[in-house]
Amino acid sequence: MEKLALLIQDKINAGQWQPIQITNHGPAISHLFFADDCLLFTKAKSSQ
């Protein structure tokens, strides 16, 4: 899972992945890892 987190962070830094921001002053969320689950968050366009 750590490797996947690093790959996601690389995509965010390159501008290829946009995490979501729940509130104006809160942190952006790109992923959540649990013991046996993974949730990925990104912005999408309505054309997708």
Burial class (CB in 10 A: 0-12, 13-18, 19+), 23: exposed
Task: Give the range of the structural domain holding residue 23, as residue numbers without chain letter.
Answer: 2-40
Domain count, the chain: 1
Domain membership flag for residue 11: yes
Domain membership flag for residue 47: no
Query: Using CA atoms, how far apart are residues 22 and 30, in angstroms rounded to an integer?
Result: 11
Q: What is the pLDDT, as a whole number, of residue 6?
A: 95
Domain membership flag for residue 45: no
Q: What is the pLDDT, as a whole number, of residue 43?
A: 86
Domain membership flag for residue 30: yes
pLDDT in tens, the chain (48 residues): 889 999 999 999 999 999 999 999 999 999 999 999 999 999 888 886
